[in-house]
């Protein structure tokens, strides 16, 4: 939820943000209008309520005829209070409903839609397979050759976009996730294994039930949602709490399964394990003071790049355009690895600065010298199942074997090459 005070004091900032995202700027005026009505009706209610309380005290002291007279007076007042309270509550609900529809105010992201990202840098050089004298195999062919990935049986058991990681494939995923977790711990993050089923309040608070609600699995019988990332649970972790951030950001590294319906992506990335309904992820999450958020965002990106360096992938960093930001994000950087068989970049990490948007919804504050205020929250990817795709393709050799990047060898018992089993 955005800052109502900001919207009141600087509506043009919010209008401009709406414009940049391609959302409706008129929503700002609807909120201003609803806010005015709420305050009017709240003032009316509070005045009457104060009167009622004062009279109530007199009733308690009075007796006999005096009491009867007071009771007659107060009876009518009670009805008025009830009516005004209902009106005030309705006005508040109306305001909330409108306010919840405004996504976070964009901060520094380039304008435009999905294709209007800005490339911040490119790191490493894609291999020239023609020069090496062989055509690269795609990740599924490699994965099947290594007996590491089984999508056919995944589909048999669970349907399309499900898979088994088998043998060295399962070990490879664990290696990636363990390397990510170890790096996070070394940087001072608290490792966390989080719930993957959350309440509607938690899901709503993190901003995932807005425009992209179709992406989320819901267990109707139990009124719970399956998370698409441990960010959801980690954002809820300190809900309704007042934190002491005087010692710097609170950093958590969440390990969890992630579930996505992929409802709008029929026909996209259908082959292999690029886009699947279930995968695992190690996610960084940080609660920090709002002044520190941009710097923390830069640190998150640096930690993601450190992981990418460990697996020796060529990648680029993009600054996501305003129209492609999630509801909660004010700015987002993605790291995309080169995918040789598709001659394109594939998103491996994504780090978002949610400023105070999530914290307002989840009611996470920090204590300052003069009271409390919402904190900033940030999140970023340190490793996922999808990384297997890029690692297999980029480190493959002519015979179908795959060289293990040095950063992962300690997690695979020193193994240097994954050999095909056929």
Beta carbon nearer to RNA, 82 or 271: 82
Binding test (CB under 7 A) with RNA, winner from 30, 32, 59, 123: 59
Map the footprint of RNA across residues 353-372, applying CB under 7 A: 365, 371-372
Binding test (CB under 7 A) with RNA, winner from 9, 63, 64, 75: 75
Binding mask 217-256 for RNA (x = CB under 7 A): -------------------------x--------------
Helices (H), 149-261: 151-158, 168-186, 200-205, 231-237
Binding test (CB under 7 A) with RNA, winner from 26, 69, 71, 398: 71
Q: Is residue 42 a contact residue for RNA (CB under 7 A)?
A: yes
Which two tokens mark 111? 């304008």
271 classed as catalytic: no
Q: In this structure, what DSSP letter does residue 412 have?
A: G
Minimum distance between the CB of residue 80 and RNA, rounded to whole angstroms? 10
Q: Is residue 55 a contact residue for RNA (CB under 7 A)?
A: yes
- State residue 317 phi and psi, 5-degree precision: -115, 130
Burial 44-74 (b: 16+ CB within 10 A, else e): bbeebbeeeeebeeeeeeeeeeeeeebeeeb
Span interacting with RNA, options 35-43, 119-127, 166-174, 297-305, rule CB under 7 A = 35-43
Contact 382, 253 (CB under 8 A): yes
Quote the CA–CA distance of 51 and 362 in Å, as a whole number: 34
Minimum distance between the CB of residue 191 and RNA, rounded to whole angstroms? 22
| Identified catalytic residue from 137, 161, 299, 386 | 386
Beta carbon nearer to RNA, 128 or 222: 222
Minimum distance between the CB of residue 33 and RNA, rounded to whole angstroms? 14
Beta carbon nearer to RNA, 30 or 55: 55
Minimum distance between the CB of residue 131 and RNA, rounded to whole angstroms? 53
Spatial CB neighbours of 413, under 8 Å, sequence gap ≥ 6: none
Spatial CB neighbours of 100, under 8 Å, sequence gap ≥ 6: 1, 210
260 classed as catalytic: yes
Q: In this structure, what DSSP letter does residue 332 have?
A: E
| Identified catalytic residue from 17, 41, 286, 350 | 350
Q: Where are the beta strands (DSSP E) in 99-176?
A: 118-123, 149-150, 164-165
Minimum distance between the CB of residue 34 and RNA, rounded to whole angstroms? 12
CA dihedral 309, 313, 315, 320 (to 10 degrees): -70
| Identified catalytic residue from 137, 251, 260, 360 | 260
Binding mask 299-338 for RNA (x = CB under 7 A): ----------------------------------------
Q: Is residue 197 a contact residue for RNA (CB under 7 A)?
A: no
Span interacting with RNA, options 12-20, 71-79, 99-107, 148-156, rule CB under 7 A = 71-79
Q: Is residue 53 a contact residue for RNA (CB under 7 A)?
A: yes
Contact 194, 258 (CB under 8 A): no
Binding test (CB under 7 A) with RNA, winner from 52, 342, 397, 401: 52
| Identified catalytic residue from 15, 275, 373, 403 | 275
Contact 250, 286 (CB under 8 A): yes
Beta carbon nearer to RNA, 345 or 357: 357
Beta carbon nearer to RNA, 19 or 89: 89
Quote the CA–CA distance of 43 and 380 in Å, as a whole number: 43
Beta carbon nearer to RNA, 102 or 176: 102
Beta carbon nearer to RNA, 82 or 153: 82
- Between CA 409 and CA 415, with CA 410 as vertex, the angle to 5 degrees is 40
Which two tokens mark 242? 């007042």
- State residue 209 phi and psi, 5-degree precision: -100, 15
Quote the CA–CA distance of 351 and 363 in Å, as a whole number: 22
Quote the CA–CA distance of 301 and 148 in Å, as a whole number: 30
Quote the CA–CA distance of 181 and 383 in Å, as a whole number: 9
CA end-to-end span of the chain, whole Å?
55
Beta carbon nearer to RNA, 40 or 265: 40
Return residues touching RNA (CB under 7 A): 39, 42-43, 45-47, 49-50, 52-53, 55-57, 59-60, 71, 74-75, 77-78, 81-82, 242, 365, 371-373
Which positions are annotated as active-site residues? 260, 275, 347, 350, 386
């Amino acid at each position: 939820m955005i800052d109502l005070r900001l919207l009141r004091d600087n509506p043009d900032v919010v209008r401009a943000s709406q414009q940049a995202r391609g959302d409706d700027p008129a929503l700002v005026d609807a909120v201003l209008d609803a806010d005015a009505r709420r305050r009017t009706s709240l003032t009316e209610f509070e005045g009457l309520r104060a009167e009622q309380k004062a009279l109530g005290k007199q009733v308690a002291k009075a007796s006999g005829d005096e009491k009867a007279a007071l009771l007659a007076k107060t009876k009518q007042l009670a009805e008025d209070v009830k009516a005004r309270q209902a009106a005030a509550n309705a006005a508040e609900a109306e305001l909330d409903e409108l306010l919840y529809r405004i996504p976070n105010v964009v901060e520094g992201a380039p304008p435009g839609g999905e294709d209007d990202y800005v490339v911040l840098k490119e790191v490493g050089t894609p291999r020239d397979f023609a020069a090496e004298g062989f055509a690269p195999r795609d990740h599924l062919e490699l994965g099947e050759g290594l007996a590491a990935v089984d999508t056919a049986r995944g589909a048999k058991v669970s349907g399309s976009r499900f898979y088994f990681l088998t043998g060295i494939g399962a070990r490879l995923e664990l290696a990636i996730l363990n390397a990510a977790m170890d790096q996070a711990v070394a940087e001072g993050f608290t490792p966390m294994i989080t719930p993957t089923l959350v309440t509607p309040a938690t899901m709503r608070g993190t901003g995932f039930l807005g425009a992209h609600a179709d992406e989320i699995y819901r267990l109707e019988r139990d009124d719970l949602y399956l998370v698409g990332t441990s960010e959801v649970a980690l954002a809820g972790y300190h809900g309704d709490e007042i934190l002491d951030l005087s010692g710097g950001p609170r950093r958590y590294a969440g390990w969890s399964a992630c579930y996505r319906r992929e409802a709008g992506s029929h026909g996209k990335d259908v082959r292999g394990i690029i886009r699947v309904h279930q995968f695992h992820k190690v996610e960084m999450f940080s609660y920090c003071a709002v002044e520190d958020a941009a710097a923390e965002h830069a640190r998150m990106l640096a930690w993601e790049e450190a992981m990418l360096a460990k697996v020796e992938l060529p990648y680029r960093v993009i600054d996501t355009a305003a129209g492609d930001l999630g509801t909660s994000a004010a700015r987002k950087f993605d790291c995309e690895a080169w995918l040789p068989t598709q001659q394109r970049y594939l998103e491996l990490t994504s780090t978002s600065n949610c400023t105070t948007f999530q914290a307002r919804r989840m009611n996470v504050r920090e204590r300052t010298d003069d009271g409390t205020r919402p904190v900033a929250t940030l999140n970023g990817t340190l490793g996922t199942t999808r990384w297997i795709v890029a690692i297999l393709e980029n480190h493959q050799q002519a015979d179908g074997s795959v060289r293990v990047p040095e950063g992962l060898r300690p997690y695979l018992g020193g193994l240097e090459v994954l050999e095909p089993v056929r």
